[in-house]
Chains A and B, each alone.
Chain A
Amino acid sequence: MNAVAARKPDAPGIVIDVEGLTKSFGGRTVVKNVTMQVRRGLIYGFLGPNGSGKTTTIRMLTGLLTPDSGHGTCLGYDILTQSTEIKRHVGYMTQRFSLYTDLSIRENLEFVARVHGMPDPRGATQDAIARLGLENRASQLAGELSGGWKQRLALGACILPSPKLLLLDEPTAGVDPQARREFWDEIHHLAHEGVTVLVSTHYMDEAERCHEIAYIAYGELLTRGTVEEVVAQSGLTTYTVTGGDLTALADELQKKPGVDQVAPFGVELHVSGRDRKRLDAAIAPYRAKNTKAWRQSEPTLEDVFIELMSRSRDNFG
């Protein structure tokens, strides 16, 4: 009940600070030694393919799962012992819609407001409905809403008690582009108001909308930092090839030593390698033919992630 007394002094401006989080299910380790720090007011992207351990990590941050090992704090509250406090101050949006489908939007929000002991649950609900533009649907059952509206309702329920930290688990999965855009706008507004947002996603393009990102694959946090930092850290050299039939070229290059990754992007082909010298040597004969345009380019985040993933698969496969 004494909300403030139990708080540990945390590093200034660090909202999530966890170290060595590990979790296994039935003998299979799905999150390995994850260490993560998130600064106040940031939009922190938590990227990774399906099944990489994003949801499991987020659940450990909220206290919904107990880590096998590791420790840390969320908003300064210990994730192992103070989950009640965390629940009071953190808004968690689950990956799967988990509000009550047989309650209306208004009833769901009022329920959340009451559980949080808000002084005026009806008033607070009305404000949230207005903020999210749900006025016309307030009496509709949550189960009858489309994906985009459900997601909006879920976000509304999360931000209703004005949390300082939002943990959003794949909030935009299965939502149309228009709704996705609006959702991100809303997240930026919240960040602007000082809310820290950790948002998981498997859409690469959403990484660009985050201040910082972390990438997880096979339960391991492979890289973190700003997008620029992540790209720079990768040590990847990438050439962009255009012109003519690229499919045959791609097939050939794939087998060459020194070429770690070949990925078609529309009319372009991205050819990347970890070792610049070996890559240059591998592609030299093709460049000499002069049938296509070659130019060195920045690797995209996707190049980086695919590279990180294949490297980690090599280590663990």
Chain B
Amino acid sequence: MTGSLSRIAAVFIKEVTQLRRDRLTFAMMVLIPVMQLLLFGYAINTDPRKLPTAVVDLDGSQFSRSFLSAMQETGYFEMDRQPRSEKELDDLFLAGKVQFGVQIPPNFGRDIMRGENPALLVIADATDPSASGNAIAALQQLPARVFTRDLQGAGHIRDGAKPPFELRLHRRYNPTGETSFNIVPGLMGTILTLTMLLFTGLSVTREVERGTMETLLSLPIRPVEIMLGKIAPYVVVGAIQMTIILSAGFLLFGVPLAGSLPLLLVLTTLFICANLAVGYTFSTIATSQLQAMQMSFFFFLPSMLLSGFMFPFRGMPEWAQWIGEVLPLTHFLRIIRGIMLKGAGFGDLATEIAAVAAFTLVAMTIAVMRFRQTLD
């Protein structure tokens, strides 16, 4: 056993030393996550303003006018259309001409004066939730404060902190209204998938192509020891990437963390191992570095598309969901979103954790079995 550890350590030290010399790979390790995060992160975080908004004002009172101008003042809405009927409004939505629609009911102002707490309907096109997220957030601030001036001296009809009217938000097309917070944790998963695959995907084929495999095979070391020694340095690299991405997520994008940070770190490390194992497996199967690269991309694409990162998982056809269930990224997305956004704990995520762990074990087993111990 100690012999085994010393052999794993031998490969580990060798790999780290080679890694330090390989400036390009080293740069890739830091730059890939930063670049992707900034590109994707700011693409989602672009805080779109002046969103096209249609207004159907059936009231026309002082109150409806000051509500509309308050909306305008948030900067998120451009109220340039006045459809005359609900049908016309629907058509505008379907054609994608407007992102928001505001319906102010008749007698809105009168009902406010009477303290009857009327409802005002705002319809949002939530196809792309990140596009409307901030606008909606701004909108939801309005009821509490928009009429403070109009209602001065009318305090007697207001009871406590209750807003004078109700803002009903109707999200069309995407009722759960996934927010951009959904995507930043997802980015961590995809970035780690890509980089980890690339790093180990080349590790065995490189030895073969450089001719060093013959020396390695003539040494008394077992395939499983070579694998662990080769994967271990990248677990550290993965941990560094994880730190970069999480820090950026918290500092730049203000992603919340509802659950436990240690749990998140441990499970992310497990996910890193899963991807390293896949990459290593490819590398034992491929006959050249190019082939290993191709296999990695072949694995990466469905991970991007079918894991729930690109498209909502439940919106995919059943066959796609089945493929998705096999991919570690799918389970990791549930884990990381669960921990960061919902505060999920170990117990809640047990199935997902088991899935990632099982995947890792299967991949490693295949890799060890596929590792060719002779030059035949």
- A interface residues (Cβ-Cβ under 8 A, vs B): 1, 59, 62-66, 83-84, 87-88, 92, 94, 96-103, 107, 110-112, 114-117, 141, 157
A64–B218 touching, CB < 8 Å: yes
Chain A residues with Cβ under 8 A from B375's Cβ?
Answer: 59, 64-65
Q: Give per-residue flags for B321-340: 1 if the beta carbon is below 8 A from chain A beta carbons, else 0.
A: 00000000000000000000
A117–B212 touching, CB < 8 Å: no
Q: Give per-residue flags for B1-24: 1 if the beta carbon is below 8 A from chain A beta carbons, else 0.
A: 011001101110110011001100
The 4 closest A-B pairs by CB, nearest first: A114-B10, A87-B220, A98-B215, A88-B220
The residue on A at minimum CB distance from B373 is A83
CB distance from A235 to the nearest CB of B (A): 38
B6–A117 touching, CB < 8 Å: yes
- B interface residues (Cβ-Cβ under 8 A, vs A): 2-3, 6-7, 9-11, 13-14, 17-18, 21-22, 210-215, 217-222, 373-376
Distance, CA A99 to CA B215, complexed state (A): 6
CB distance from A167 to the nearest CB of B (A): 9
List 19 A–B pairs whose Cβ atoms lie within 8 Å, in order of A's numbering: A1-B3, A59-B375, A64-B214, A65-B375, A65-B376, A83-B373, A96-B211, A96-B214, A98-B212, A100-B18, A101-B210, A103-B14, A103-B17, A115-B10, A115-B11, A115-B219, A115-B221, A116-B220, A117-B6
A117 and B219 in contact, given A64-B375, A100-B14 (Cβ under 8 angstroms): no
CB distance from B3 to the nearest CB of A (A): 5
Chain A residues with Cβ under 8 A from B376's Cβ?
Answer: 65-66
CB distance from B90 to the nearest CB of A (A): 65
Tell me the number of A-to-B contacts counted with CB atoms below 8 Å: 75
A112 and B219 in contact, given A64-B214, A96-B211 (Cβ under 8 angstroms): yes
Chain B residues with Cβ under 8 A from A97's Cβ?
Answer: 211
The residue on B at minimum CB distance from A101 is B210
A98 and B14 in contact, given A64-B375, A65-B374 (Cβ under 8 angstroms): no
A114 and B9 in contact, given A65-B376, A84-B220 (Cβ under 8 angstroms): yes
A117 and B218 in contact, given A64-B375, A100-B14, A111-B10 (Cβ under 8 angstroms): no
Distance, CA A88 to CA B221, complexed state (A): 9
Chain B residues with Cβ under 8 A from A87's Cβ?
Answer: 218-220
CB distance from B259 to the nearest CB of A (A): 41
B14–A66 touching, CB < 8 Å: no
**Which residue of the partner chain, among B2, B14, B211, contacts A111 with CB atoms under 8 Å?**
B14
Distance, CA A83 to CA B376, complexed state (A): 14
B219–A94 touching, CB < 8 Å: no
Chain B residues with Cβ under 8 A from A101's Cβ?
Answer: 210
**Which residue of the partner chain, among B2, B18, B214, contacts A98 with CB atoms under 8 Å?**
B214
Distance, CA A101 to CA B21, complexed state (A): 11
Chain A residues with Cβ under 8 A from B222's Cβ?
Answer: 84
CB distance from A50 to the nearest CB of B (A): 18
B214–A94 touching, CB < 8 Å: yes
Distance, CA A101 to CA B215, complexed state (A): 12
B212–A99 touching, CB < 8 Å: yes
A66–B218 touching, CB < 8 Å: no
A116 and B219 in contact, given A65-B375, A98-B211 (Cβ under 8 angstroms): yes
Chain A residues with Cβ under 8 A from B18's Cβ?
Answer: 100, 102-103
**Which residue of the partner chain, among A62, A99, A114, contacts B13 with CB atoms under 8 Å?**
A114
**Which residue of the partner chain, among B9, B22, B219, contacts A102 with CB atoms under 8 Å?**
B22
The residue on A at minimum CB distance from B2 is A117
Chain B residues with Cβ under 8 A from A1's Cβ?
Answer: 3
